[in-house]
Structure 1
């Protein structure tokens, strides 16, 4: 009978006592890698003394939940009065589950009927938007994955990093240098971080560059390759590059090769890059210009003469010119005096061949040879012709012409004088004979007559009429005198030898009115006769 009562008491007493036995929990959500404390409170009758406390985790075994005592990374942070909190360090996903608390007193023991649920999550970084065009806004958010009411850490206490460097502001205007991998952490536990999230900042081509290979001197005939590059996001494709020369499109593509470069390829080159992203409204971004100078030996050498007419004694300059890069630094002049000869005579140096006083020996073919460090080239031959002085030639021509005209004029005068003399002589003889028919003085056949022809104007002295015999005077003298001005008058001098030379000479000069016969007796008589030549 006594044993039955004891059993009844043992069964009934826990129910009675259970009214004072109690364990309360709060479910927890922890971030992987952090430490978490499961808050716990327990109560028991006041006259009991707690002797021991234990935490257990329920694990499924063969379909049945079984309690296992905790060991690793667990630490009891409560007391033996009312606090039964449990700390878990470096929480991992394996720590998720149900946790039970059991304690013993001096009179009894108690295990919680409910359990504390622990959830393990990870920090998550949210970048909005994750791909952004330069200049647009970006915001960063750190998400724990735990319900707000169960997460013990505030989002205010999160910190941000980009590629290991702290980020002060989780909201900003994107720049190209803001691109990178972002993650967050809980302040005070910065080693526990979220998985990184990449921010992709797209921007137009930047730092567009054009390079030429080889980079040194570019020699005619060598090969040259142009290459264009840039910093851009997204990267510029092959079709996004274009090469220009002096503003004209050369080709499309990132590279352009010239197998055999020529002087005509010299110019200013640049390339453009495009990736469909604009910068300040500009989509095609230019590189800096490269001035390509193709070096070549002298070519198309020419010789020019500064004066078109080269006269003896004058000066002339022959100028040699040639395009070359670098410029020709040596000029040599040669003369070919004989076009049939292959020998050349060296006549000078320098770009200008100066001949200060040209001579006939300077006539010939000239050429110059231009040279730089890359080679040399001859010019075509230029003929230099030296003319005689125009003044001396004209003088010789005029002199010759004058002498010829003078000689011709003298000959004409002589011929005219002889003709006139002959005609006058014939006329005088005829008139003398005609006038001597009625006088004794007409016998002049043995006398020698000298007839002189004078110019048409009468000689000085007495008028010819005074010496004309009265028998020959024209009764119509006045009329004849008027007409004699129109006729050509010839004066003839007739010398008659006297028959008696012993007569005194003074008798001749004092008898101008004597008869024709009296005059014939003088020593030396002069008779002027007028001969009228009919027209």
Structure 2
């Protein structure tokens, strides 16, 4: 009879505390792959009043346990706020105010159980355990799989894609995974691999698996990016040509302006030379008249040729200097060889 009386007493206490406003909010059942990390979101409410009298309740101890209805006394626990010997795989992310979230890392077979939360207060009437708990299912060695927006794996250059690594049975949000492309490990470790602005280098066979369990490696997902690198190469070549054309155009304009300034200087000097040549020609003609018509014609022709040759030679010499043509190429009776000569 004593055993039945104790059970009845606990049932009455649970009913009374529930009626007074105490409760624990557990998440839906959680499924996890062995070796992965799962989160048990949890919140709780404490008493505000007892028998119509407002009371100040302070939570002094919190406990998470497995497969026990009330986590009382010496019941084994996975986390106890009063203990210094808690298993590091179980991390309490909550507080003593209303958050009772628990994180379980490196899931093991023994975690395949029902977890319950207990809060103990400075007033025994506010101590409470929610018996419903949260069910955790552990899947051992389940092969991972990769899901994508396109099953065929065909993408165009510049598109984006997200690859999701998950278990075939469980829906998991906190996986410590390793991603591979053509057998080479990538830096990403989350359950989702986001590839933005795809290029040819992103093509390959992608696989994923739990970081601590190589047996979970997924079937390869083949990703192929169309277009290759040809459009990029063509664009770079066109860009370089445009830049070179712009540089040559500016260079030619500057050279032409400089040559025009030097030509004006040369014209002034040619005027002075032409005046001197005219004097020389007049004197020469007077002398030629005295020597006879035939001799005069020959001398005038020779003087004219010499005058033209000197003027052209002076012009091309100045132009070659303006265009920085080396002296080895400075043949003054020829046009200068330079890309801007026909500009």
What TM-score, normalized to structure 2?
A: 0.39
What TM-score, normalized to structure 1?
A: 0.26
Q: Relative CO higher for 1 or 2, CA cutoff 8 Å, sep ≥ 6? A: 2
